[in-house]
Amino acid sequence: MSFDLQGFPADSEALAALAARGLDYRLVDTTDVAATSAWVEADHRGFHHSRPRQIDLDFDLGMLAERRVHGVYDPTMADPSVPVATVSSWPTGLSVPGGRSVDAWAVSSVTVSPTHRRRGIARALMLAELQNARAAGAALAMLTATEATIYGRYGYAPAARAATVFVDRRRAHWVGPDAPGRVQFVDAASIREIAPALARRAVARTPGEIDRWPALLDHVLGLHDPESERSRARRVVRYDDERGNPQGFAVFRVTREPNEPGVAEFDFLAAATDDAERALWRFLVEQDFVSGTRGLLRSVDEPLPWLLEDPRAVTVSNVVDHLWVRVIDPVAALSARSYSTPGRLVIEVDDTVGIAGGRFELVVDERGRAEVAAIDRADAAASATGVRGIRLGVRELGAIYLGGVHPSVLARAGRIEETSPRSVELADAMFASQRTPHLSIWF
């Protein structure tokens, strides 16, 4: 998805709504170091992070050059160059069932200063991002959320979950198959060269994962700030297959008090094959002098318990809604994924914001490939009696999109209606995903 990030002005509706409150909504020129640094200051403050050091500013300036960055400014502030609200966004791929990637619009850095909260600033920014997503030709917008109560009102819904997985070292006896390759320690700089290609292959395997951007890889490998205590604690291991080809890597650290068994903790594991995934997990759970291994933002459906003699060695906790999806273009979104069952379903979408509403006909062939059309343009027979159909809001469409939420669960919650008998049953079968959707990073 190629797109000129600076190619169109700030959204006129947000501009007018915020101007009416005496606020100035601007697209930040990310080549302007002073303006972008002030924006980064506001972003850190908004998330209650420490003030950025120069090294953090340099890192963020590089990353933001690849994003569309907006700030809201209050000219009456003591320092009007620091925005009172921030948001950044960029076009990127999201993996969908079937192994393809859909064009998506990632939204990040949504903050409003506590001095300006609850005046509708976030609302103006979020509605503008939906327009940006549309202008970029994205099928959907997406984000990860600090709080689950913020984004539903704009049409977002949780679509892929994540969890903390802890493995008790004493009970972690491996009984799974041996991987034919080997795991070895490598330095972060050497893995950085092959990380983009490996990460791309790993991302394609799981619906809900999004494309990794260069600065993220620098960050997880500790290359942006190699001498910090946190970066120095990181260890990188790579799995090579039996022919010596790298197929995955993981970044972990051992947290511990001196001479006390610690915990091996990891938040980044990229596996392009099942062998790589098993081998890296095995390496991570078979550490000595640790009480256990903790994986952050792991899938709620890891094969791990089936690889250990004692499945109760594995504790899954802190299960969270992690990836939030907001459908922008139902035809593009529904066409991009594949489906588990052939069938024909009419989907009526209600969208109070007026972006994605309408009636759509989804026809899936024996191979799981979809043809989708807005019903006005579809064959008249599409609305004939007997065609199965469901009626739902844009949030519910986002929730079921990746296959992480069953339509029947939302029907039981009174959030999906069927327009003819057994339509929800068909929707359940069609939207099911072979692999449980999962997102393993924050963005």
Q: Which residues lie near ligand COA (CB under 6 A)?
A: 46-47, 110-112, 117-123, 145-147, 149-150, 153
Nearer to ligand COA, 112 or 202 (CB): 112
Nearer to ligand COA, 121 or 183 (CB): 121
Least distance CB 145 / ligand COA (angstroms): 5
Q: Please state the three-class secondary structure of 281-327 as a single string.
A: HHHHHCCCCEEEEEEEEECCCCCHHHHECCHHHEEEEEEEEEEEEEE
Nearer to ligand COA, 296 or 375 (CB): 296
Nearer to ligand COA, 321 or 371 (CB): 321
Contact assessment for residue 316 and residue 154, using Cβ atoms and an 8 Å cutoff: no
Please classify residue 305 by burial: count the beta carbons closer than 10 Å to its beta carbon, then call 0-12 exposed, 13-18 middle and 19+ buried: middle
Least distance CB 1 / ligand COA (angstroms): 23
Under 8 Å CB-to-CB from 154, ≥6 apart: which residues? Answer: 123, 126, 127, 130, 326, 353
Nearer to ligand COA, 67 or 253 (CB): 67
Please classify residue 296 by burial: count the beta carbons closer than 10 Å to its beta carbon, then call 0-12 exposed, 13-18 middle and 19+ buried: middle
Least distance CB 5 / ligand COA (angstroms): 21
Which tokens sit at 172? 């972690």
Least distance CB 14 / ligand COA (angstroms): 11
User: Which residue number places its CB atom closest to ligand COA?
Assistant: 122
Provide the strand spans (E) within 113-188: 140-144, 157-168, 182-186
Least distance CB 120 / ligand COA (angstroms): 5
Under 8 Å CB-to-CB from 338, ≥6 apart: which residues? Answer: 96, 97, 98, 99, 100, 367, 368, 369, 370
Under 8 Å CB-to-CB from 367, ≥6 apart: which residues? Answer: 338
CB atoms within 10 A of CB 95: 28
Least distance CB 124 / ligand COA (angstroms): 7
- Residue 113: its H or E element: none
Separation of alpha carbons 402 and 397, rounded Å:
9
Contact assessment for residue 15 and residue 26, using Cβ atoms and an 8 Å cutoff: no
Q: State the residue for tokens 């095995």.
A: 282
Separation of alpha carbons 4 and 70, rounded Å:
15
Nearer to ligand COA, 122 or 307 (CB): 122
Nearer to ligand COA, 37 or 109 (CB): 109
Nearer to ligand COA, 126 or 221 (CB): 126
Nearer to ligand COA, 360 or 443 (CB): 443
Burial per residue of 403-429, b for 16 or more beta-carbon CB atoms within 10 angstroms, e otherwise: bbbbbeebbeeebbebeeeebbebbbb
Least distance CB 183 / ligand COA (angstroms): 35
How far apart, in Å, do the first and last CA atoms of the chain sit?
18
Least distance CB 354 / ligand COA (angstroms): 16
Least distance CB 150 / ligand COA (angstroms): 5
Nearer to ligand COA, 50 or 149 (CB): 149
Least distance CB 9 / ligand COA (angstroms): 22
